Amino acid sequence: MIDDGDHMTDSQVEKALENWITSFRGGVIVLLVIAVLYEKDLHGIGIIDRISQRTEGIVQVPLGTIYALLQRFIRLGLIETYKDPEDQRKTIYKLNRRGKAFYKNIRELWLRYSVAVNSFLDSMKE
């Protein structure tokens, strides 16, 4: 019997696409949060707003996601915090030296991969 490789149902294809989007989106959000903090110290909502504005609303970062990610960055030693001088209730997040090096590395990797992937996809026939 010949295997034509067409074994996935439509719902399985949709689930696979959802899983891919979740993984891809997670990596993009990491890059964008680090990029925002490379540019400027901000509080969580400020980071979310800046990403939304700079991506013209394409990338939306949920509130729970941003704070979980920021806590992970703190544990990894990439960012530090301080209280907003104008509003002591707000915590400001700041990239430290290690975080800046991390940003430069993932930015370079993103740029290399995106050029290579775009070139590959542009060369494909539909």
> Which amino acid appears at position 25 of this protein?
R
Answer whether residue 1 is part of any domain: no
State the CATH number of the domain containing residue 84: 1.10.10.10
In a domain, 11, yes or no: no
**Structural domain of 102:** 20-123
What is the per-residue pLDDT across 82-107, written as a single tens digit (0 to 9) for each? Answer: 999 999 999 999 999 999 999 999 99
Asked if the structure places residue 15 within a domain, the reply is no
pTM of the complete model beyond 0.85: no
- Please say whether the beta carbons of 34 and 78 come within 8 A: yes
Instruction: Tell me whether residue 4 is in a domain.
Output: no
Q: What is the pLDDT of residues 25-60, one digit of tens each?
A: 888 999 999 999 999 999 999 999 999 999 999 999
Each residue of 67-76: pLDDT tens digit? Answer: 999 999 999 9
What total of structural domains would you count in the chain? 1
CB within 8 A of 103, min separation 6: which ones? 34, 35, 37, 38, 95
Residue labelled with tokens 């990403």? 51
